[in-house]
């Protein structure tokens, strides 16, 4: 039999861990080929590629982000090759299995839950007696009726073979995210999350995991993401793994973890702050809401004081970037309480703040109790909510406007100094800035067109010019700082009209070339000639000295290193320039 395991990833850089586990577990009895596509690939291209491989059996790994596109592929495949056996698995089809059997008549079998042993047993029956009643954890049709067979006991994860030792993966490791699993399950019961359904936490063999990571790094993997739902459940285990990664990491490797912030011990953070190389680790922390009644309703225990302590300690250590998550639309969180949640979390100044919207995942407690809170949501994946008893669709639309500009102006870090000033001094709160700007952005139709860097600055400037009672000179100066600092090479045409004439610039260049000490010792060491200044620098008048924070008319000199290593900014007060001239 020619067997293929496949999936449609959200992006090319993603890899599927699940189909690699299936391949590894099925060997050596069955040879399984892996094929990965993306949800952006044309359906007919995916179908053609799979058809040309002449499979007898295809297993599809199904998730909320790919199920609709997967169904299209399955439908065409079955039309052109009716004898093809199609097996579905994954979290999306594990729940409401009867519904999936009815909706997807082209699917011959559905593997429910943990799939490695079930998939192999099913392959044995397909190859042998075809007595499917002996296969636990599958759904199929028999005598025109749906049959759903209960799952077997959970696997001993310590016995699972490695999903990483396939030669065909090696050429791609450096270009894609590699997902690593050291445990399955979650100790918490958050009612919006699928992980809450599996009781208890099971661990893989630690030494095998370490060997896999050594192998991945040796073969070029650069981004390794741990998919454990709570990596830091065990303090001793987390410390052991952190120490291993610090000791044995190779240059350029980054490790990402999902951690629970309020159970992170201060001594663990202190250890990381003292021993971890900068940039080696990245933490993802799900905050979701700071509204206590909401957290109680979704059975989410969260100590905000301890979570804040963790985020602040990590941030102050300057070693680890943090990605914090929020979910809009949880029970009893209306527009105003979500605004407070947003401001609470933004006050921590995470490197990245993801604002997501509640998805009513199949199998979760919240979906089962949707009527209680008046939820309406999309019928098809990703089942995103459209409103509930206290959050209208109008509110959701407004919060989506916040999400849009948050992503562009905070998470991408294009103008950190500017945004910091705006949220701290120019608007009542961070949420107010992003909301007002988001509404302006939408009113201009900008959400439907593309943007280059210059466009983002021009559009922010246009929005701010519509506002009164803010210090436009200081804000424009900060925007200029941010714009110039973001370039590796000298920009051809900045987004503003220069405030200096050609004669003014020539005069300043000459003064600096004659007396480079005007810009300090760091500038002197560059040993730039007047010709170099004209060729590799930009000069602009601003109303703020960024180094001191003092409002004053200042000359900003930006040197763009020919090597492309980035811009270096220097400032000179006009008073200093006048004193030099005299």
For residue 466, the model assigns a pLDDT of: 94
pLDDT band, very low/low/confident/very high, at 114 (cuts 50, 70, 90): very high
- Strands 3-9 and 376-377, sheet pairing: unpaired
> DSSP state, 334?
-
Q: Residue 582 pLDDT > 60, yes or no?
A: no
Euclidean distance between CA atoms 263 and 310, whole angstroms: 9
- What average pLDDT score do residues 105-115 get? 97
Q: Which helix (H) or strand (E) holds 534?
A: helix 530-536
Give the HSE-up count for residue 226: Cα atoms under 13 Å, Cβ half-sphere.
28
For residue 181, the model assigns a pLDDT of: 96
Q: Residue 572 pLDDT > 90, yes or no?
A: no
pLDDT band, very low/low/confident/very high, at 64 (cuts 50, 70, 90): very high
- Domains, the chain, ordered by start: 3-149 (3.40.50.280), 157-391 (3.20.20.70), 392-400+409-470 (no CATH), 492-579 (no CATH)
Euclidean distance between CA atoms 301 and 305, whole angstroms: 12
- What average pLDDT score do residues 510-535 get? 91
CA angle centred on 55, ends 14 and 62, rounded to 5° = 35
For residue 581, the model assigns a pLDDT of: 59
- What average pLDDT score do residues 302-330 get? 97
For residue 576, the model assigns a pLDDT of: 67
pLDDT tens digit string along 121-135? 999 999 999 999 999
pLDDT band, very low/low/confident/very high, at 199 (cuts 50, 70, 90): confident
Q: Are 405 and 463 in contact (CB under 8 A)?
A: no
pLDDT band, very low/low/confident/very high, at 580 (cuts 50, 70, 90): low
Q: Residue 548: CB partners within 8 Å, gap ≥ 6?
A: none
253/579: higher pLDDT = 253
The alpha carbon of 579 is separated from its chain's Cα centroid by a whole number of angstroms, namely 51
pLDDT band, very low/low/confident/very high, at 371 (cuts 50, 70, 90): very high
pLDDT band, very low/low/confident/very high, at 1 (cuts 50, 70, 90): confident
For residue 549, the model assigns a pLDDT of: 77
What count of other Cβ atoms lies within 10 Å of the Cβ of residue 367?
18
Q: Residue 154 pLDDT > 70, yes or no?
A: yes
Q: Residue 579 pLDDT > 70, yes or no?
A: no
For residue 546, the model assigns a pLDDT of: 76
For the entire predicted model, the pTM comes to 0.92
pLDDT tens digit string along 468-508? 989 999 999 999 999 999 998 999 888 898 888 899 889 99
Average pLDDT of the chain is 94
What count of other Cβ atoms lies within 10 Å of the Cβ of residue 156?
10
pLDDT band, very low/low/confident/very high, at 578 (cuts 50, 70, 90): low
- What average pLDDT score do residues 59-67 get? 97
pLDDT band, very low/low/confident/very high, at 195 (cuts 50, 70, 90): confident
Q: What percent of the chain has pLDDT over 70?
A: 99
Q: Residue 150 pLDDT > 80, yes or no?
A: yes
For tokens 């098809």, name the residue: 380
Q: H-type helices in 81-205, by residue range?
A: 91-94, 97-103, 116-127
- What average pLDDT score do residues 532-561 get? 88
Q: Residue 30 pLDDT > 90, yes or no?
A: yes
For residue 407, the model assigns a pLDDT of: 96
Euclidean distance between CA atoms 91 and 66, whole angstroms: 11
Euclidean distance between CA atoms 357 and 347, whole angstroms: 20
State how far the alpha carbon of 179 is from the alpha carbons of 113, 221, 243, 571, in Å.
19, 10, 19, 46
- What average pLDDT score do residues 42-59 get? 98
For residue 548, the model assigns a pLDDT of: 75
Q: H-type helices in 347-392, by residue range?
A: 365-368
Q: Residue 385 pLDDT > 90, yes or no?
A: yes
Q: What is the CA radius of gyration of the chain?
A: 28
pLDDT tens digit string along 405-438? 999 999 999 899 999 999 999 999 999 999 999 9
Euclidean distance between CA atoms 217 and 187, whole angstroms: 30
Instruction: Locate 579 and state its tokens.
Output: 């004193």
Euclidean distance between CA atoms 486 and 452, whole angstroms: 13
Q: Can you list the positions of beta strands (E) in 177-220?
A: 177-180, 183-185, 201-203
For residue 552, the model assigns a pLDDT of: 83
Decide: helix, strand or coil at residue 351.
coil
Instruction: Locate 493 and state its tokens.
Output: 């045409």
pLDDT band, very low/low/confident/very high, at 391 (cuts 50, 70, 90): very high
Euclidean distance between CA atoms 35 and 169, whole angstroms: 11
State how far the alpha carbon of 491 is from the alpha carbons of 170, 487, 523, 541, 545, in Å.
39, 7, 21, 17, 22
Euclidean distance between CA atoms 312 and 516, whole angstroms: 40
pLDDT band, very low/low/confident/very high, at 547 (cuts 50, 70, 90): confident
For residue 278, the model assigns a pLDDT of: 96
pLDDT tens digit string along 243-272? 999 999 999 999 999 999 999 999 999 999
State how far the alpha carbon of 371 is from the alpha carbons of 374, 376, 430, 481, in Å.
5, 8, 33, 51
């Amino acid at each position: 039999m020619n067997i293929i395991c496949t999936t449609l990833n959200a992006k090319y850089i993603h890899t599927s861990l699940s189909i690699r586990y299936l391949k590894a577990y099925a060997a050596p009895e069955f040879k399984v080929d892996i094929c990965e596509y993306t949800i952006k690939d044309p359906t007919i291209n995916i179908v053609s590629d799979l058809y040309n491989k002449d499979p007898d059996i295809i297993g599809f790994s199904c998730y909320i982000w790919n199920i609709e596109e997967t169904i299209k592929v399955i439908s065409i495949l079955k039309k052109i090759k009716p004898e093809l056996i199609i097996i579905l698995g994954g979290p999306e089809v594990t729940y409401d299995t009867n519904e999936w059997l009815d909706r997807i008549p082209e699917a011959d079998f559905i593997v429910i839950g943990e799939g490695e042993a079930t998939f192999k047993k099913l392959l044995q029956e397909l190859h042998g007696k075809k007595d499917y009643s002996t296969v636990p954890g599958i759904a199929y049709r028999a005598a025109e009726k749906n049959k759903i067979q209960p799952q077997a006991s959970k696997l001993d994860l310590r016995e699972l073979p490695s999903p990483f030792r396939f030669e065909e993966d090696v050429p791609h490791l450096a270009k894609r995210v590699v997902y690593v699993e050291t445990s399955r399950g979650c100790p918490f019961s958050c009612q919006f999350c699928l992980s809450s359904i599996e009781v208890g936490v099971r661990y893989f063999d630690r030494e095998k995991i370490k060997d896999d990571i050594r192998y991945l790094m040796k073969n070029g993997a650069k981004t390794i993401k741990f998919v454990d739902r709570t990596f830091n459940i065990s303090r001793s285990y987390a410390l052991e793994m952190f120490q291993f990664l610090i000791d044995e990491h190779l240059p350029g490797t980054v490790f990402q973890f999902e951690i629970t912030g309020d159970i992170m011990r201060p001594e663990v953070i202190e250890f990381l702050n003292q021993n971890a190389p900068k940039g080696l680790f990245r933490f993802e922390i799900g905050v979701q809401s700071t509204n206590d009644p909401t957290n109680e309703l979704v059975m989410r225990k969260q100590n905000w004081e301890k979570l804040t302590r963790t985020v602040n300690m990590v941030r102050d250590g300057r070693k680890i970037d943090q990605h914090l998550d929020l979910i809009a639309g949880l029970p009893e969180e209306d527009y105003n309480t979500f605004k407070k949640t947003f401001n609470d979390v933004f006050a921590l100044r995470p490197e990245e703040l993801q604002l997501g919207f509640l998805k009513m995942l199949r199998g979760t407690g919240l979906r089962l109790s949707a009527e209680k809170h008046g939820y309406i949501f999309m019928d098809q994946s990703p089942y995103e909510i459209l409103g509930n008893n206290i959050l209208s669709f109008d509110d959701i639309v407004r919060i989506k406007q916040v999400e849009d500009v948050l992503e562009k102006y905070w998470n991408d870090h294009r103008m950190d100094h500017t945004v910091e000033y705006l949220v701290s001094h120019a608007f009542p709160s961070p949420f107010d800035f992003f909301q007002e700007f988001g509404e302006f952005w939408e009113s201009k139709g900008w959400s439907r067109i593309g943007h280059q860097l210059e466009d983002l600055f021009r559009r922010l400037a246009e929005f701010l010019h519509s506002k009164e009672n803010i210090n436009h000179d200081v804000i424009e100066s900060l925007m200029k700082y941010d714009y110039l600092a973001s370039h590796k090479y000298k920009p051809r045409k900045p987004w503003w009209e220069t405030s200096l004439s050609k004669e003014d610039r020539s005069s300043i260049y000459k003064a600096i070339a004659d007396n480079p000490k005007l810009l300090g010792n760091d500038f002197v060491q560059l040993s730039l000639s007047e010709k170099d200044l004209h060729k590799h620098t930009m000069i602009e008048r601003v109303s703020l000295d960024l180094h001191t924070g003092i409002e004053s008319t200042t000359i900003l000199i930006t040197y763009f290193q020919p090597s492309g290593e980035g811009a270096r900014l220097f400032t000179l007060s006009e008073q200093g320039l006048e004193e030099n001239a005299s």
